Structure 1
Amino acid sequence: MKYNEINDFHRIDIENEAHPSVFFKDENYDLFIFRMPQLINNRLVPISKAFIITDKSYFYFDKESKEFVDLQSVDGFYKYLNNDIDSILKIINGYIEEIELIEDNFYENKIDKNFNKQWFSYKNDFIKINRILFKCVEVITILISHYRKDDDYLERNFEDMQEHLQLAHRNSGMLLEKLDALHNSYLVENN
């Protein structure tokens, strides 16, 4: 796939670092943009990655070289996405451990003096993660339903990724609830 073969509007979408997850059908290809949270230098950063699907192959757009990288097959496409989805699960699991530690300390009366600042920072991250993951789940569901008839491999394996995204989304919602419960308890304790 050559960059100049892409619709002008889609080129803008592909290069947009903050583009939300989306699935577009075009005459000659399908465009799949997947926006996922990633940890970069200990900061949560949403990253948008663009993929082009044709009758012949699956391509990832490398934003640095401004070229499409051929993933060779649906298996290559799956492995590429699955790697990112696994990293999302690791991020969420890391946050679960951090919040459990804060909970344990709180209930043992070992409250951090910067609790409100810490709470706000986590709350901000989890709201972003939750919103991004909601859209990821929605778009991967569209992708699966569009290709369901074409390839049993895609359906089986992509539904597995969909389940992992749904789990990450549910867990991010659970983390928001835990934070709210902690904050409410903190307010009661300190008033």
Structure 2
Amino acid sequence: MVKLNEFHLEDIKSSKHNSAFIQNSNYNILILKLFTLKDKKIEPFNLNLIIENNKIYHFDGDNFIKIDGYDALFEFLDPKINKILEIVAILSNKIEKLENRFYENQDLDNFNKIWFFNKSNLIKMSRVLSKADEAFKEFLKFYHSENQDLNIKFDDLLEHIQRSNKNTDYAIENLDTIYMVHSTYKDEKIQKSLYALTMLSGIFLPLNFIVGFFGINTSSLPFSSGTGGTYYVVLILIISALIFAFVLHYIDRKS
């Protein structure tokens, strides 16, 4: 059974250790941090592999489990790395659906919350995959085999990690683009609201002065000759407000 340096033993026991390929005179260690999707959240986990004189062991947190050769190691890693591809595809599809809903002008409740949740997951994935890519490349470089079929298999695993990383980065860029467009759209709505308030002030301020004049004994003012002048002015204010609201609603729908 392989005997590890106490510091290396601490490394493989730590769930917080990033992906790394550690070389030692008696053995080498590949710590490969991957992730799974649980309750819509990304949960990283470590695969701890120790190679000593072509003997391969997996440390599961308590025990060293022997893996019978590099073909068996491939079979051990393949489903776990393929699962990464599936998770990236699931989250990428969620981003595409969010994008389609946004560009189809569908209402997006809690957009900022949705955006932050997905961005947080994608950033975690990108960090994990970048480190895994570096560590696995070092591992393959060191253990490059004369067996071409075996090389092809492990190169395929590396390609899956790299493709997952690229797709994750693309999803982050896509999500950021959606956020920028959404922010621009919100800014435009705020500008329209400010414009509407300015227009309302321009309409109601003069009318307000007119209403104020009715409290002064001044002749020749509109509606001052008969009874109910104040009611006429109030009616004009209401009609003006309704017309202005209708125009704003129409412009908003057109935009």
RMSD: 1.3
Aligned to 2:185: 189
Aligned to 1:58: 56
Q: Answer yes or no: is 1:49 the counterpart of 2:47.
A: yes
More strand by share: 1
Aligned length: 187
Structure 1 ranges of 4+ moved more than 3 A: 149-154
Letter in 1 for 2:56: Y
Q: Which runs of 5+ in 2 are unaligned?
A: 188-255
Q: 1:153, CA displacement in angstroms?
A: 4.1
Q: 1:165, CA displacement in angstroms?
A: 0.6
Aligned to 1:105: 101
Aligned to 1:125: 121
Aligned to 2:34: 36
1 CA distance for matches of 2:134 and 2:54? 25
Aligned to 1:142: 138
Contact 1:50 1:61 in 2 (8 A): yes
2 CA distance for matches of 1:136 and 1:148? 17
Larger Rg: 2
2 CA distance for matches of 1:186 and 1:155? 46
Structure with larger RCO (C-alpha < 8 A, sep 6+):
1
Sequence identity percentage: 30
Contact 2:58 2:66 in 1 (8 A): yes
Q: 1:151, CA displacement in angstroms?
A: 4.4
Q: Which runs of 5+ in 1 are unaligned?
A: none
Contact 1:36 1:48 in 2 (8 A): yes
Contact 2:41 2:121 in 1 (8 A): no
Q: More displaced, 152-161 or 77-86?
A: 152-161
Q: More displaced, 44-53 or 151-160?
A: 151-160
SS of the residue corresponding to residue 169 of structure 1 reads: helix
More helix by share: 2
